[in-house]
Amino acid sequence: MTVFDVVVLVCAALLTVGATLAVIRAERGPSMLDRTIALDIVVTTVIAGVALYAAVFRRADVVPLLVVLSLVGFVGSVTVARFAAVEPEGEGRVRTREEVAAEEAEKRRLEQEELAERRARRRAALEAARDAPVEAPGAGGGTPEPATEPVPESATDTVEDEPDPEHHGGPADEETR
């Protein structure tokens, strides 16, 4: 056994250990970034293994295979990174479409509850303003101030819940009063 054979066996053993540990990391995670990096390491060890094979058997015809494996690893990493970029802060994984839809539905429900609460407060303020006694002119020493409708907190407070009877939908669904 020559020195070259020993070096090849040591390199092969190190590549095997590295690939095994990377697969374990990819399985355990916990985040998408951990899994992506682990799979990049697996692709890299496969590339190194093919390069080791080419060096031992003096085969130059596997160079295109090395190029293809490198491109596949790069494109895979970029693709996963692109989809992981929408991952929210503090989240350890990429959410499914169903999870995103459920979160958006919950957000819309909370916004609608807040809007209904603001409308109820505005109606209560209007009723309180209508029920307040109006002073007779000259009785209080001044002119009475007219009851005014409170200004909506945002433009969404003026959106109707239901369209008018003659309204049939379209871009003016959120018609304002």
Q: What percentage of the chain reaches a pLDDT higher than 70?
A: 69
pLDDT tens-digit series, residues 9-35: 999 999 999 999 999 999 988 887 888
Angstrom CA distances, 85 to 19, 71, 95, 100, 102, stand at 26, 21, 11, 14, 20
pLDDT tens-digit series, residues 54-65: 999 999 999 999
More confident residue, 129 or 176: 129
Determine the pLDDT at residue 78: 86
Determine the pLDDT at residue 31: 80
Q: Coil, strand or helix: which one is 159? A: strand
Highest mean pLDDT among 26-35, 69-78, 142-151, 152-161: 69-78
Distance CA 78, CA 74 (A): 6
Distance CA 97, CA 73 (A): 26
Q: Facing residues of 159 across strands?
A: 176
Q: Which position has the token pair 């989809």?
A: 83
pTM of the model: 0.48
Q: Is the pLDDT of residue 139 over 60?
A: no
Determine the pLDDT at residue 134: 65
For 55-103, strand residue ranges (E) read none
More confident residue, 43 or 151: 43
